[in-house]
Amino acid sequence: MANEIWTIKRCLEWTKEYLAERGEEHPRLSAEWLLCAATGLARIDLYMRMDETLDAAQLEIMHTAVVRRAKGEPLQYITGSTQFRMIDVACAPGVLIPRPETEMLVEEVLNYLDAEVLSPEAATRQRAELPWNDEVEQARKAEAALADERATAERRAANLTAADEAALGSDVLGSRAYAEELADREAEQAAAQAADAEADAEETPEPELDEYGIAIEGNDQQTTPAQDAAEANVPAPAEPRIARVLEVGCGTGCISLSLTWERRGHVTCTATDIEPRAIDLATKNRDALGLTSDEVAFSLTNLVSSIPREEWGTFDVLVSNPPYIPSDVMRSLPHEVKDFEPDLALEGGADGLDIFRRLLNAAPYMLRAGGLFACELYEGALDAAAELCRQAGLSDVRIVRDLTDRPRIVRAIVTEPKQRI
C-alpha cells in the first residue's frame, strides 16, 4: 500500500466507505474534515484538487486520524480545532468541545450588552444614576436651604404675636418681617430674570431680507446669550462604558473569547475553570486571536473563588455553560461524548442543577443592579431553574429556545445585589 498512489479523491472515497461500515453517522463529512486536517486544505479546495496525490506524511496523518475516528473519538479532538461563531477554537482531550447551541448563549449576552450597557441610551441611563457632580450638588443644597429657611420663617411668623416679636428683638429668623423680606427678595429675583429674558429677546437681530423678502442665508445663525447659556448647560452625550463579563466554567474559552472578539474595545471578560487543561487551552486560544490578558483574563479556580472582593458587584453579566447533564441521563449519552469528553464538564447531579444552584447563589454578589445572569442548561431542567431564579428574587426570568424550538437557556436580571460581608 505504501507504493500505491493515493489521490485526494481516492482517499476521500475509501475513508467514507470505511467509516460507514463502522457505523459513522456522517461518513463523508467526517472524511472531508479529516482530509482537511491532513492536507491543510479547505473543504472546497478538496473538490478542486481531487487528482492531487497525498505525500507520505499526509498519508500517515490520515491513517492515524481514520483509526481514531473509527473508534468513536470526536472529530474536534482529532483535528484539534472547531469553529465557534466568528473564531476558530483549538480543542483537546480533557476539555469540553464547544457546541453550536452554545453560540445562542453568546448571542443572548450580546443582545443584552448592546441594549443595556453599550448603547448610547444605556450610557445615558447609567449616567443619570451616578452621583451628582459638585456644582449641581452645591446648587441643590443651596436651593433646599433657602426653601427650608423660608418655610421656617413663615411657620414661625404665623404663630407669633406682636408681643412675641418684640421679645425676639434681633432674632429676625422668627419674625414676620423676615418672612416678608424673603418674599420680597424672591419677587425681585423673578422680576430680574424676566427683565433679562426680555432684554435678550430684544437683542436678537432681525434677519436681513433680500429684495424678495426672504431671509438671507447665514444671517439667522447668531444666537442669543440665553441660547448660548442653555446650550452650554446641555450635558454632553454619555460615552458608552466598558462592559464587564464573568464566565464560570470557561473550557476552551469560546464564550469569553467570542464576546471580546465581537465587541473588542467594549467588553472585557474574566473567565474561570477548575480544570488546568482548560485554562491552558483557553490561554492558547486567546493568544492565537491576538487578545490580551487585560481583555480576557483566565483564572484556575473553583467557580468564583478567585474573584477579589473589591470586584464583587461590578460585573454586568455572569454567564455559564456549566455541567448540566442529570446523572441518570449520563448513561445514555452517545459513545463519543460519554467515553471521550470529561465527566467533570458534563455531569450536573441528580437533576442537572447542582452547579447552577451555586452560580445562582453567587450571582447577586457578583453582579451590579440590573446585571444579567444567563446559563445554558439541560432542556428538562429549565422550568425548575427558572423557578429557582424567581425564588431567589431575580426578575425578568425567561427561558430561551434554540433554533429547533427546544428550551436551551435560562436568563434573569439581578435587581437587588447583595453586599459583601
112 and 33 in a common domain: no
The C-alpha atoms of residue 227 and residue 230 are separated, in whole angstroms, by 5
SS3 73: coil
Asked which of 71, 88, 113 is the last residue of a domain, the reply is: 71
**Domain-embedded: residue 311:** yes
Strands (E), 142-187: none
Residue 177 · residue 154 · CB < 8 Å: no
Residue 313 · residue 368 · CB < 8 Å: yes
pLDDT bucket at 130, cuts 50 / 70 / 90:
very low
**Average pLDDT of the residues in 393-402:** 96
Asked which of 54, 71, 88 is the last residue of a domain, the reply is: 71
Give yes or no for residue 86 having a pLDDT over 80.
yes
pLDDT bucket at 126, cuts 50 / 70 / 90:
low
330 and 283 in a common domain: yes
367 and 269 in a common domain: yes
Of 302, 300, 308, 307, which is closest to residue 281 (Cα–Cα)?
A: 300
How wide is the angle at C-alpha 46 spanned by C-alphas 41 and 52, nearest 5°?
Answer: 95
Residue 192: per-residue pLDDT: 74
pTM for this predicted structure: 0.73
Q: Decide which of 91 and 227 is more confident.
A: 91
**Average pLDDT of the residues in 117-139:** 59
Cβ density class 8-39: b for 16+ within 10 Å, e for less: beebbeebbebbeeeebeebeebbbbbbbbbb
pLDDT digits (tens, 9 = 90+) for 291-329: 999 999 999 999 999 999 999 999 999 999 999 999 999
Q: What's the total number of domains in the chain? A: 2
pLDDT bucket at 180, cuts 50 / 70 / 90:
low
107 and 35 in a common domain: no
**Average pLDDT of the residues in 260-268:** 97
How wide is the angle at C-alpha 415 spanned by C-alphas 413 and 419, nearest 5°?
Answer: 120
pLDDT digits (tens, 9 = 90+) for 142-160: 666 666 666 666 655 555 5
Residues of the domain holding 20 = 8-71
Q: What would the 3-class secondary structure string for 331-395 be?
A: CCCCHHHHCCCCHHHCECCCCCCHHHHHHHHHHHHHEEEEEEEEEECCHHHHHHHHHHHHHCCCE
Residue 354 belongs to domain with CATH number: 3.40.50.150
273 and 375 in a common domain: yes
C-alpha neighbours within 13 Å on the C-beta side of residue 23: 7
Q: What grid cell was written down for 289? A: 486571536
Residue 44: per-residue pLDDT: 94
**Domain-embedded: residue 193:** no
**Domain-embedded: residue 135:** no
The chain-wide mean pLDDT, for the chain, equals 85
Asked which of 71, 91, 113 is the last residue of a domain, the reply is: 71
Give yes or no for residue 215 having a pLDDT over 60.
no
**Domain-embedded: residue 185:** no
109 and 49 in a common domain: no
Give yes or no for residue 365 having a pLDDT over 80.
yes
246 and 338 in a common domain: yes
Q: Which residues contact 421 (CB under 8 A, 6 or more apart)?
A: none
**Domain-embedded: residue 298:** yes
110 and 41 in a common domain: no
Give yes or no for residue 137 having a pLDDT over 60.
no
Strand partners, 411: 374, 398
Residue 384: per-residue pLDDT: 98
Of 303, 319, 316, 315, which is closest to residue 374 (Cα–Cα)?
A: 319
408 and 310 in a common domain: yes
278 and 355 in a common domain: yes
Give yes or no for residue 139 having a pLDDT over 80.
no
- Rg for the chain, CA atoms, rounded: 34
Q: Which residues contact 141 (CB under 8 A, 6 or more apart)?
A: none
pLDDT bucket at 248, cuts 50 / 70 / 90:
very high
Residue 197: per-residue pLDDT: 66
pLDDT digits (tens, 9 = 90+) for 107-117: 999 999 999 99
- With left for phi above 0 and alpha for psi between -120 and 50, is residue 245 left, alpha or beta? beta
**Domain-embedded: residue 145:** no
360 and 258 in a common domain: yes
**Domain-embedded: residue 280:** yes
Give yes or no for residue 170 having a pLDDT over 50.
no
Residue 120: per-residue pLDDT: 80
- How many residues can be counted in the chain? 421
Q: Which residues contact 234 (CB under 8 A, 6 or more apart)?
A: none
108 and 58 in a common domain: no
Of 293, 292, 313, 291, which is closest to residue 304 (Cα–Cα)?
A: 313
Residue 140: per-residue pLDDT: 55
**Domain-embedded: residue 65:** yes
